Structure 1
Amino acid sequence: MQKKVWFYVHWFLGLFAGTVLVIVGLSGAVLSYEKEIFEMINKESLVVTVREQERLTPEALLEAFAMAKPNATPSAITLFSDPKASASISVQGQGGGRNTMVYYMNPYTGELLPELKGRQFFRATLDLHRRLMLSEVGKQLVGASTIGLIILCFSGVYLYWGSIRRSLKKSLSINFKAKGRGFLYQLHSASSLWMFPFLVFISLTGLFWSYDWYRASLYTMAGVEMPKKGMHHGQKKMPKQAESLTEVKSIQKPVAVEGVTQAWSFFESTLSKPYAYATLRLPSSKGVYEFTYMDENAPHSQAINMLSVQMKDLKVLSHTRYEDKGVGEQILTSMLPLHSGEFFGWGGRIVIFLASLGMLLFALTGVILYINRRKKLHKKFLKPTP
């Protein structure tokens, strides 16, 4: 009786949450390789020809930008250690928040480079992945379906437990010579069993963005103070090349660039390790320059460090490094890389990518098995009694 109840729970959740899970899975698979796709379609903006001359100083880049865009006020400048990488300058538009424009410049000539392509597509894909493009209603549907996926995983193992107990090896294998319902059943159960730990992991990390109470509980368990809303750890924040570009509508006062190059030189002199990229927020507040940077061999894209410099006394006011944080804070900072598999290297990304694509396989095989079962029961019901 108990097994029958869990069988109906399993197929009910599969039927009603399956569509949402397929959408979330496929969009997640696309987002897994967002950075690589961006780099492939935007080489003319992200990659420049290396020249014999030295790259322009931060002040020179800002001055060149001011000449090209006199009505735009820079809010940040980002430079990369890679000599082939372009520089970028961020501009805060009206309304603040996400209304940020990022321009790309050749660090050798100060020339403005073309706008990135595909950014709107990936913004829409992320919105589809987290909210189904339905705002708060979609967010709740995704959250509920994610919880449903966890139940589907454990209920599936429970229903398949008899086969697992008899032979785990056979339960994990698929006989491709089998036909019909037998093949579909093996494909559905065996592939689900292979992906079981990864699907549960994706679900548990994905709930971080679905429910405030869940996120707050993780911070409480880790003993870490929860950042203000809109600035929580794990918020997707790619290097500045991956931002979008729009137009500034308002005329703003220019930012004084004097001292920026000196501040950057002092910043570089304080580092014990080479950096991959660094962003300087503008303008400085009372002579304080704030840098956000990533080490050259950082473990993942969220291993970000922050440094504040008081230029009057050439003094470091604060220096927060990812590697110096406690384990709990590192984990919470790394929620996005954990969710995408980036935290575990290229192998982890491939596994999470396949698990995300697997949502479609599980849904299709599950629906076909359900239809076949209904047809079988219908024929049995219509069969005349002797």
Structure 2
Amino acid sequence: MKKLWFQLHWFVGITAGTVLMVIGLSGATLAFREQILDALNPGVRTVAVQSAPVLAPQQFALAARALKPHERVTSIILYDTPGSSARIGLAPAPGERKGETIYLNPYTAALLPELKYEGFFEWTEQLHRFLLLPRDPGKMVSGVLAFCLMGLALSGLYLRWPRRVWDWRTWLTFDTRMKGRSFLWGLHSVAGTWVLVVFMVFTVSGVYWAFDPIRDMADGWMGTLRPPREAAAPKPKAAKPPKAEPADLTPSWTTFQQTAPNWQMAFLRPPERANAPLQILWVAKDAPHVRARSSMAINMQTGALLKSELYADKPVGARLQSTIYPLHLGTYFGVVGQLIVFIAALALPGFGITGWMLYLNRRKQKRIARAERAQFAASALAGLVQDDPVLMAYASQTGQAERLALQSAAALQKAGVAVHVHSLEKLTLPQLGKYRRALFVASSFGEGEAPDSARRFSRLLHAAKEELQHVQYAVLALGDRNYAQFCGFGRTLDQRLSFMGAQPLHPMIEMDNGDAGALARWGNALRGLMGEGAADAGEVTLSAAADDSDYVSWRLDQRVLLNPGSIGFPLYEITLGGDIGDGWRPGALVDIWPGHYGVDATPRRYSLASVPQDGSLQLVVRQVQCERGLGLASGWLTDQAAIGDEVRVRLIANPSFDAYPQPAPAIYIGNGSGIAGLRSHLRARVLEGAQRNWLIFGERQQAHDAICADEIKGWRAQGFLPELDLMYSRDVTGGGYVQDCLQQRADTLRQWIADGAVIFVCGSLQGMAGGVDDALADIIGRAQLEQLAEDGRYRRDVY
């Protein structure tokens, strides 16, 4: 669901958002319209304050008639502010919507200069309200755009909704030291949160004005709906009566001043008929906003007050309706409100620009990925028409072997050698037998085992009776010398191929954690296959590490000790904030490059404990202590880094521990910090509504090591954990290990597997993972367990 909203957010953002940039710019231009006009037109709407008394409306009316003898005065606007000019509105010419406004000196009634540049702001207002379209279709388009802005604001809020809702820093701050896409995302998302309320005001008011049915409905709720006007019956034309002299405004003005001594603005509407009452709208000095208007009706002949309605006495709905326009302009909160509206309106183009930059960056990354895939697809196609292609096969658990295999294939292809790239997950022995030359890049898993994706091929290879005397091969074995069976699977592969008669092109190369020397030797082995193309290919450059451009900057937002008082090493939940981007799959991994490392270090890898919907990247990190002190990565994350520090991050897909592609029951088994990978899966399952889950998790003592206990209890109470076993091995009341639990619940386990359950194992290799593997093999048989692995129903992330 979140991915769908993400796609909708970007689609609307790069379509309607582009037009909203125009509306934002025009809105920002109009935010201080009155102040700008006054600054550009000194001496028009305000004049120098004099000691003489301000003239009365009747004097302004007479002066306007003398200046414009053929025009009818339709309004007189006066302000109690010293030096404010009188504004006289004249009737529009036939076919026009708006008449001329002239300004008169408040002390002499002399005509003041025409207000310049007002036409520009009127044009800008038409652009802002109707996009320069005819009024009715322009209103509709503006209304649709208002709905789009509302959708962008609300979907953006949903997409960045953090797990820790009450942490204000997560909502309102981001690390300004970030660069590139991370900086753009932080600016885009955090700025969106800052202006969210203002945008909602924009959208609600825009929709209210754009669609008459919505406006009528809202007015009905507020009790301000005007009854529709009935068409008047045509009347016979009568002779036009002689023009009557307009009535004197003096008695009415005297009554107004006596009734409203605290007026600040008065809007007089002289009637067309001399015997009709004078209508006055006015705003008090202590009014809450500029549209908080009271009204009067006064007999022009006698000065008698016919009707008076104070703003404070109006129904709540009418007062609410009057705030819509001031809220939209920001004038409800004075100059501060106008400034907020100005910034928010100006932010719309900013969101459009950053949104486009993020979108183009994503497109660029996808193009690069497509180009890389196409490169090797072209290589495979070329191999169909070229003789003697080289097989480049890889066995990868977390992607490093695949990366090196692709780099190696690219180097060979550049030298003109046809290459077919295959994962051992799908490779069969008959396929292998079709090649004369085969190169293998093989990682080891756990204590020298084959990666889960290569277990089927390993089993087939050991059971095969094929002869491979015609095959020449080379093996690059990847491993870690911290494990007893260093490069175990690579060694087994090399030995088995040799036993089957295959001839080595080059002695097996063992690489310890990206060792540059081993990579150089592998590069030399590749050059031996290039023949005449070696000179054209140049130097073979391989790197086991990801490019620096693959890393993005996140920030350390929070760390929480999960096991206070534990006899084990401290276990922390680490929360990082940054660009969620396209997100990640459950079970994904992350490489962390701590801030105090040099450029030549190897990054540390952790299982992700969160899902993209959490709005943050969460890890569960055990603080490692050794002779030289705290572990380099764990010590930095759990103790040395300050909150807010930059963290270089690379998300890594983990297909062998990804969610099963079809709906199925799921069994989650782990211990210690292995809760991270299990928690990401369970959170995803809860979001999907998948309820048949079984968690088997082990730690030391329940009193101190009940990790994520509240979250697990919540899942249990909601029905998402119908089976739950928590094992505490050091409790005096008797405990045990997760593998013991499997033996105790063997019958239930067999039933779940029979129902199609997928088994996920995450945690320490020593003890737990091996014990679980043995227990599962004992319960269902080694052959069935191997079949589960081949079918993708036995998935592991152990370390």
Supply the distance in 2 between the matched residues of 1:93 and 1:264 (Cα, whole angstroms).
Answer: 25
CA 1:266–1:283: 2 relative to 1, 3 Å: farther
Task: Please list the CA deviations of residues 310-349 of structure 1 after superposition, one character each: whole Å capped at 9, or x if unmatched.
Answer: 2445421111222211221111122110112222333332
Give the secondary structure class of the aligned counterpart of 1:100.
coil
Task: Please list the CA deviations of residues 94-116 of structure 1 after superposition, one character each: whole Å capped at 9, or x if unmatched.
Answer: 23763311211113222111111
Supply the distance in 2 between the matched residues of 1:379 and 1:48 (Cα, whole angstroms).
Answer: 65
Deviation of the 1:131 alpha carbon = 0.9
Q: RMSD between aligned alpha carbons?
A: 2.5
Deviation of the 1:160 alpha carbon = 1.7
Flag the structure with larger Rg.
Answer: 2
| Residue 108 (structure 1) aligns with | 107
Deviation of the 1:272 alpha carbon = 4.7
Matched, 1:322 2:311: yes
Relative to structure 2, which stretch is displaced further, 305-314 or 110-119? 305-314
Mapping of residues 81-230 of structure 1, within 5 Å: 81-95=80-94, 98-135=97-134, 136-162=136-162, 168-226=168-226
Mapping of residues 73-88 of structure 1, within 5 Å: 73-88=72-87
CA 1:190–1:311: 2 relative to 1, 3 Å: closer
Supply the distance in 2 between the matched residues of 1:211 and 1:308 (Cα, whole angstroms).
Answer: 32
Matched, 1:331 2:330: no
Which structure carries more relative contact order (alpha carbon 8 Å, separation 6+)? Answer: 1
Supply the distance in 2 between the matched residues of 1:57 and 1:133 (Cα, whole angstroms).
Answer: 40
Task: Please list the CA deviations of residues 82-135 of structure 1 after superposition, one character each: whole Å capped at 9, or x if unmatched.
Answer: 231112322103237633112111132221111111221111111111111012
| Residue 250 (structure 1) aligns with | none
Aligned partner of 2:148: which letter?
A: G
Deviation of the 1:285 alpha carbon = 4.1
Matched, 1:281 2:270: yes
Supply the distance in 1 between the matched residues of 2:303 and 2:63 (Cα, whole angstroms).
Answer: 27
Higher strand share: 2
Supply the distance in 2 between the matched residues of 1:68 and 1:312 (Cα, whole angstroms).
Answer: 25
Give the secondary structure class of the aligned counterpart of 1:76.
strand
Supply the distance in 2 between the matched residues of 1:50 and 1:227 (Cα, whole angstroms).
Answer: 46
Q: Is residue 75–residue 268 contact of structure 2 (8 Å, CA) maintained in 1? A: yes
Task: Please list the CA deviations of residues 336-380 of structure 1 after superposition, one character each: whole Å capped at 9, or x if unmatched.
Answer: 101122223333322222111111111111111111111111111
Give the secondary structure class of the aligned counterpart of 1:44.
coil
Give the secondary structure class of the aligned counterpart of 1:65.
helix
Task: Please list the CA deviations of residues 197-236 of structure 1 after superposition, one character each: whole Å capped at 9, or x if unmatched.
Answer: 221222112211111122112112223323769xxxxxxx
CA 1:102–1:255: 2 relative to 1, 3 Å: farther
Aligned partner of 2:5: which letter?
A: W
Deviation of the 1:31 alpha carbon = 1.4
Deviation of the 1:174 alpha carbon = 2.2
Deviation of the 1:256 alpha carbon = 2.7
Deviation of the 1:300 alpha carbon = 1.9
CA 1:347–1:58: 2 relative to 1, 3 Å: closer
Give the secondary structure class of the aligned counterpart of 2:140.
helix
- TM-score (structure 2 length as normaliser): 0.43
Q: Is residue 59–residue 258 contact of structure 1 (8 Å, CA) maintained in 2? A: no
CA 1:30–1:257: 2 relative to 1, 3 Å: same
Deviation of the 1:164 alpha carbon = 5.8
Aligned partner of 2:213: which letter?
A: W
Deviation of the 1:168 alpha carbon = 4.8
| Residue 11 (structure 1) aligns with | 10
Supply the distance in 2 between the matched residues of 1:296 and 1:168 (Cα, whole angstroms).
Answer: 38
| Residue 498 (structure 2) aligns with | none
Aligned partner of 2:86: which letter?
A: A
Relative to structure 2, which stretch is displaced further, 276-285 or 180-189? 276-285
Supply the distance in 2 between the matched residues of 1:84 and 1:370 (Cα, whole angstroms).
Answer: 53
CA 1:81–1:262: 2 relative to 1, 3 Å: same
Deviation of the 1:148 alpha carbon = 1.2
Q: Is residue 77–residue 86 contact of structure 2 (8 Å, CA) maintained in 1? A: yes
Supply the distance in 2 between the matched residues of 1:62 and 1:161 (Cα, whole angstroms).
Answer: 60
Gaps of 5+ in 1: 230-252
- TM-score (structure 1 length as normaliser): 0.86
| Residue 358 (structure 1) aligns with | 347
Q: Is residue 73–residue 254 contact of structure 1 (8 Å, CA) maintained in 2? A: no
Aligned partner of 1:149: which letter?
A: L
| Residue 22 (structure 2) aligns with | 23
Supply the distance in 2 between the matched residues of 1:44 and 1:227 (Cα, whole angstroms).
Answer: 43
Mapping of residues 280-299 of structure 1, within 5 Å: 280-286=269-275, 288-299=277-288
Aligned partner of 2:138: which letter?
A: G
Supply the distance in 1 between the matched residues of 2:201 and 2:75 (Cα, whole angstroms).
Answer: 36
Deviation of the 1:152 alpha carbon = 1.2
| Residue 337 (structure 2) aligns with | 348
Supply the distance in 2 between the matched residues of 1:224 and 1:63 (Cα, whole angstroms).
Answer: 36
Supply the distance in 1 between the matched residues of 2:166 and 2:208 (Cα, whole angstroms).
Answer: 37
Supply the distance in 1 between the matched residues of 2:65 and 2:5 (Cα, whole angstroms).
Answer: 65
CA 1:287–1:142: 2 relative to 1, 3 Å: closer
Deviation of the 1:149 alpha carbon = 1.4
Q: Is residue 277–residue 293 contact of structure 1 (8 Å, CA) maintained in 2? A: yes
Q: Percent identity?
A: 32
Relative to structure 2, which stretch is displaced further, 36-45 or 46-55? 46-55
Supply the distance in 2 between the matched residues of 1:108 and 1:257 (Cα, whole angstroms).
Answer: 23
Deviation of the 1:12 alpha carbon = 0.6
Give the secondary structure class of the aligned counterpart of 2:43.
helix
Supply the distance in 1 between the matched residues of 2:325 and 2:171 (Cα, whole angstroms).
Answer: 32
CA 1:165–1:262: 2 relative to 1, 3 Å: closer
Give the secondary structure class of the aligned counterpart of 1:307.
strand
